[in-house]
Amino acid sequence: MATVSPTTIGVVGAGTMGRGIVQLFVQAGHTVYCHDAQPGAAAKAIDYVDGMFARAVEKGRLAAADHEGARHRLKACNTLADLAGCELVIEAIVEDLAVKRALFRELEGLLGEQAILASNTSSLTVAEIASACQRPERVAGLHFFNPVPLMKVAEVIAAVRTAPAVVRRLSELTEGAGHRAVVTADQPGFLINHAGRGLYTEGLRLVEERVAAPADVDDVLREALGFRMGPFELLDLTGLDVSSRVMASIYEQFQQEPRFRPSSLVPPRVAAGLFGRKSGEGWYRYVDGQPQRPPARPLPPLPEALAVWVDPAASGADGLRGLMAAAGARLVDGPGNADLCLVMPWGEDATGAALRLGLDATRCAAVDPLPPLALRRTLMLTAVTSPAVRDAAHALLAKDGTAVTLINDSPGFIAQRVMATIVNIAANIAQRGIASVADLEDAVRLGLGYPQGPLSWGDRLGAARLLEVLRAQLAATGDPRYRPSAWLQRRVALGLPLTTPEAER
């Protein structure tokens, strides 16, 4: 039941999103009127929602009496005029600015002066929609995610002229329906799509630079860091045709901000129709809906009595030395007598680490110190690591059965680069006041399914280390996409958690 006073709500648009919004608010105790311009669509949507409630009763998740009550609160409308008595109308129609503006203009003429108009837009600026209205202070965004009843978060978007009372009321209604309401400014991508840019853009950049293949990036991020899916698995799921438009739109709306620069790898794949699951092939090929993953790299034979030196100054040196000893390697104190030299740099490539330490780059490789060594391990080669040294390092790291991913040289490994980018974008969101720290953290967990909120995750991994990675990336590439956020730099300098809010003024 609703935890706020029952409200009469209208939903315009009877597609997937509209049906989900109807279901959510009816189940929360509100009366909901549904309208669609397509004749009969609203009635079908009401029947669909009623069927969802009936299945919930069959499975014991909803009482029969509650289903009966919900059925009486479900209303199909043939005309927009039937929404005249609604206190809130939520638009969930086509992503076309002109069409939305015309709808809001018509709705405003039908509804009372205190009624709220909300758009479920995912990509348009709410202020542009509201500019068609005589009362823009009564207009806001209310962006849900598919499937609406299961995705327990919604963005309440405050346009520049939206009244604070409207934001509060939409938040109350959303929270009363069991969803976390996160309040965000009317900025490109709002909050969740904005915060999610790092995973996609840096994953694509790694493949552009031939650091790793798409499956390698996905494996490391999923198994070593705990993402539900890697960026290329996600791109195939959402459809590269859709995701490419979102990437381009956010980049352009942010005045071509380098942090959101799309990848040149994407347009040729879209042109070729490689959209992902729905086209049968994307970054992966699909058979019966299942991705066909590349075969695992063959495990090389384990060499006997290999002399291994581990950089003693590395943050994970003790763990790596123990791992090498358990695999049968002979540990040596100096690199001059070693068959294999292992380094564990932060933000530095293997070649740079070898040169800095005066090592023979042909006998050197790097292991990522970021994820725990008990999880999937990443082995980075220098530009000239010999095949024998490569195979020996691989065999030793995999001796206990843990999977190993081999990558080419890069200033920062897969995990380091992606996490530094994600945390940096989140820190910039906080710096710009697009959302509060609490809303940002919850939005990313609930909306993107990340194991933690980005700022608290950055603290757990080591904010100073991630800042080191960004600075090294910026120095190595000169690319402004890696410039560190002021929020991140200040909190590291002060020794404060990244979740620390700005001082009151």
Structure tokens at 216: 């390698």
CA 321 to chain CA centroid, Å, is: 35
Orientation of helix 454-461 relative to helix 414-432, angle to 10°: 130
Q: Strands, E, within 79-204: which ranges?
A: 88-91, 116-119, 139-143, 153-158, 180-185
Structure tokens at 372: 């725990």
What helix, strand, coil percent values describe the chain, rounded to 5? 50, 15, 40
Ranges of H-type helices in 259-373: 266-271, 317-326, 350-356
Active site residues: 122, 143, 155, 193
DSSP annotation of 81: G
CA atoms within 13 A on the CB side of 304: 0
Judge whether 142 and 115 are in contact, CB under 8 Å.
no
Q: How far is CA 9 from CA 23, 109, 179, in A?
A: 12, 17, 17
Beta-sheet strand order (sheet of 307-310): 330-331, 307-310, 340-343, 364-367, 377-381, 404-407
The C-alpha torsion from 87 through 91 and 97 to 102, rounded to 10°, is -50
Q: Can you tell me whether residue 405 is helix, strand or coil?
A: strand
Structure tokens at 87: 């206190």
Residue 286: partners with Cβ closer than 8 Å, 6 or more residues away: 236, 277, 280, 292
Judge whether 472 and 411 are in contact, CB under 8 Å.
yes
Judge whether 91 and 120 are in contact, CB under 8 Å.
yes
Q: How far is CA 191 from CA 62, 221, 397, 408, in A?
A: 33, 22, 40, 34
Burial class (CB in 10 A: 0-12, 13-18, 19+), 372: exposed
Judge whether 155 and 148 are in contact, CB under 8 Å.
no
Instruction: For the beta carbon of residue 489, count every other beta carbon within 10 angstroms.
Output: 18
117 bridge partner residues = 89, 139
DSSP annotation of 276: B
